[in-house]
């Protein structure tokens, strides 16, 4: 299966609508998600236009993997925080991880799990995040992400120049010795 590429398009003429479109192998699939910034509280609208809310919503899924529904679930979580007037809300595990976990635990398609999670209340989602089988899958997902980031950092560090760091340590330790 090809990895979905999401394209951000601002609707011409509407001014406040942000649309995410799925593009596979260079072709639009017809799947989309819309966010109407006009429904945000005024303070969030101001922050959105001044500080890049378009980017904020899109960054919610940046670098993550999965199908369109799974990826866009990250944006919906950020969107809900913004609708509540919270720009920098601390996120629990994302709905995308919950969707993946439920799909795996129940051996169902992620699209079906996504529809179920979307229909859940916050309390129902919280309860599902405490289910031992869901916790196990979500913990594994978090561990896999951490291992991937660690490997990427290790690969990036290979052959890097440490002379600046060594000079700083020498300078600081010599100062302390004086």
Domain boundaries defined on the chain: 1-89, 92-159
Tokens 């919270």: give the residue. 86
DSSP string over 4-45: PEEEEEEPTTTSSEEEEEEEETTEEEEEEEEEEGGGS-HHHH
C-alpha 163, offset from chain centre: 35
Beta-carbon contacts of 116 under 8 Å, excluding residues fewer than 6 positions away, are 102
Q: Which residue has the higher pLDDT, 64 or 177?
A: 64
pLDDT of residue 6: 62
Confidence at 104, pLDDT banded by 50, 70, 90: very high
Do 102 and 134 form a contact (C-beta atoms < 8 A)?
yes
Confidence at 134, pLDDT banded by 50, 70, 90: very high
User: How much is the average pLDDT of 13-42?
Assistant: 78
User: How much is the average pLDDT of 33-50?
Assistant: 81
Q: Is the pTM of this model over 0.85?
A: no
Q: How many CA atoms lie within 13 A of 7 on its CB side?
A: 13
Query: For residue 34, is pLDDT > 50?
Result: yes
- Between CA 149 and CA 85 the distance in angstroms is 31
Instruction: Please give the backbone phi and psi of residue 88, each rounded to the nearest 5 degrees, phi first.
Output: -110, 55
Cα angle: 98, vertex 104, 105; to 5 degrees: 85
pLDDT of residue 102: 95
pLDDT of residue 108: 95
Confidence at 128, pLDDT banded by 50, 70, 90: very high
Do 30 and 12 form a contact (C-beta atoms < 8 A)?
no
Task: For residue 102, count other CB atoms closer than 10 A to its CB.
Answer: 23
- Between CA 41 and CA 31 the distance in angstroms is 27
pLDDT of residue 12: 46
């Amino acid at each position: 299966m090809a990895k979905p590429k999401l394209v951000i398009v601002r609707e011409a003429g509407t001014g406040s609508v942000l649309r995410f479109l799925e593009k596979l192998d260079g072709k639009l699939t017809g799947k989309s998600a819309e966010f109407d910034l006009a429904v945000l509280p005024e303070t969030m609208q101001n922050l959105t236009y001044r500080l890049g809310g378009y980017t904020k919503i899109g960054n919610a899924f940046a670098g993550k993997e999965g199908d369109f529904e799974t990826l866009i679930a990250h944006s919906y979580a950020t969107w809900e925080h913004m609708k509540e007037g919270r720009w920098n809300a601390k996120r629990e595990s994302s709905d995308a991880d919950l969707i993946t976990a439920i799909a795996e635990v129940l051996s169902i398609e992620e699209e079906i799990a996504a529809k179920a999670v979307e229909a859940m209340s916050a309390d129902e989602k919280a309860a599902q995040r405490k289910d031992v089988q869901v916790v196990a899958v979500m913990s594994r997902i978090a561990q896999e992400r951490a291992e991937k980031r660690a490997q990427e950092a290790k690969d990036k560090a290979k052959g890097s120049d440490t002379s600046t760091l060594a000079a700083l340590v020498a300078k600081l330790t010599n100062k302390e010795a004086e």
